Amino acid sequence: MIVRSKSPLRLGLAGGGTDVSPYSDLHGGSILNATINLYAHATIEPLEGGEIEFVAIDQDEKLSFSSVAELPVDGKLDLLKGVYNYVVRNFTKKPLSFRLTTFVDAPPGSGLGSSSTLVVTILGAFAEWLQLPLGEYDVAHMAYEIERIDLGLEGGKQDQYAATFGGFNFMEFSGNDKVVVNPLRVRKKFATELMNNLILCYTGTSRESAQIIKTQTANIEARSKEALEATHKVKEQSVRMKEALLTGRLDQIGQILNDSWNSKKQMASGITNPQIDKIYDTAMMAGATGGKISGAGGGGYMFFYCPLNTRYAVLKALEGIGVKEQIYEFTETGLYSYTIQ
């Protein structure tokens, strides 16, 4: 028997960072994101020899253990261990024996939510294998608990829900970890035109988002006026983005992205750097009307809105400084798991 699972990565189009506590608890947050056809993959093969094997193909890592109820969290494939420990502690109450193989289509630190998406995917594979009665909100919330509570990793709440639900979603966050996912019925021609005009590219460097998020959190806790006002503006732009997508006023998206980027840079230090500024300025001078970095900042993927036929000039300009386009398509579905006997 083989159990397979996959979940899509996401583009955070607007509102990024407003899902992070304590801002979301105190003021409420909102984010608009869309999933794309880059995925996290997981395969479970049950074993009978009393062993646990982890194989992370994209990271070229392999670990083996005797089958025990709790695996040590020590910096080596902790996301895989964290899901296993959670499943045993809350569901099976006894050790399992299996081989878990994973692969993610984007590098770590990409800003596309790869870590959270991988957790969702692995949890989905276990739920399929063990026939756990979990709904979409259950999976997303459990993935959040594994990352943020059990493993103590810094971050927000949007990635787990984007990977689980898939598609275009407007998400609302409030106190007590309350999350409401509002799927958006974006007309096909609007989504297709957005995909044509929105260039996704890789900066060439990954980044560690934890420190940026820690700084952002500290700024909110310290009631930094600049950081707080900037975060309010980022949240407002998620509403503007939703209205533009639903009504087909796509010509507004570039300006919304540009406004969002200028606000985001005031939320915490480290969000931008000279390399990112150079990429942004190059795209804007070539005809883009706005853009932003995907995720917390500091590196990973960026995207730019290029109206009419400016995408070709922007791509040429970016290629001139060594930045390559990432081909993608929007997806309509989220977590998907199945079993082959």
**In terms of C-beta density within 10 A (0-12 exposed, 13-18 middle, 19 or more buried), how is residue 338 classed?**
exposed
Phi, psi of 304 (to 5 degrees): -135, 140
Rounded distance between C-alpha atoms, residue 201 and residue 207, angstroms = 15
CA 157 to chain centre: 9
Annotation marks residue 78 as catalytic: no
At residue 21, what is the residue type? Answer: S
Angle at 47 between CA 45 and CA 49, to 5 degrees: 160
Phi, psi of 147 (to 5 degrees): -70, -50
Beta bridge partners of 30: 172
- How many Cβ atoms sit within 10 Å of the Cβ of residue 108? 14
Among the options 19, 105, 159, 259, which is catalytic?
Answer: 159
Q: Give the residue numbers marked as catalytic.
A: 159
